Amino acid sequence: MTTQIKEEFQFPKTYSFPPFFTPQPNSNTRHSQLQKWSSLIQSYCRHYKLYRLNLIDAIETPLFHNAALKKRVSLPEAREILEFMVGDGRAEWVDSGKGVVWIWWRRPEEWAGLLVDWVESTGQKNVVLTVYELVDGEDSVSQEWHGMDTDVMMKSLNVLVKRGKAQVFGNEGQEGVKFF
């Protein structure tokens, strides 16, 4: 049995710049800082295939805490960064308490496009697949969405339902999908 070890995330140069961890007072600089944080969070989540962040847990990870610099983002600052991402369409609050957030390193519409391309390239139009097969099945191992959070898959499939490209049916946890 071989275990695949995920290589360590390579942080961008700005991560080693102490002012990156402090809210900048100039509005143009602040906007640039928030864009860089958004890009960093998306890249980090993509690397580790994270679809949602629990802010209380994430604030203690290297994502928001540079131990070498002894710098960290405060919880209110992290919320502000995530609010910026929500406003930019790259994140979405999962709960009303704003403690858990979806991180859209690919938006559901983008995942939907990848799913359609895969279905067409593998000749699975008009075939019923389970959501489990899409997320964890052998046929999807080579796909970027393999292992995806089921809620994100459902959001992506619902995009296709609205476009008339798929039908989802069945009970929660046992959903099937047919692509047209």
Q: Note the pLDDT tens digit of each residue in 87-110.
A: 999 999 998 777 999 999 999 999
CATH of domain 108-179: 1.10.10.10
Q: How confident is the model at residue 7 (pLDDT cuts 50, 70, 90)?
A: confident
Rounded CA separation 92/55 (Å): 13
Domain ranges of the chain: 13-103, 108-179
- Which region, left, alpha or beta, applies to residue 170 given φ > 0 means left and ψ of -120 to 50 means alpha? left
Looking at residues 155-174, what average pLDDT do you find?
92
Element (H, E) at 83: helix 75-87
Q: Are domains 13-103 and 108-179 of this chain identical in fold?
A: yes
Q: Starting at the edge strand that comes first in sequence, how are the strands of the sheet with 52-54 ordered?
A: 52-54, 100-103, 91-93
CATH architecture of 13-103: Orthogonal Bundle (1.10)
- Nearest residue to 88 via CA among 100, 72, 105, 76: 105
Tens digits of per-residue pLDDT, 40-63?
Answer: 999 999 999 999 999 999 999 999
* pTM confidence score: 0.88
CB 22 within 8 A of CB 51: no
The owner of tokens 């690397």 is: 47
CB 123 within 8 A of CB 167: no
Closest by CA to 143, choosing from 161, 158, 124, is: 124
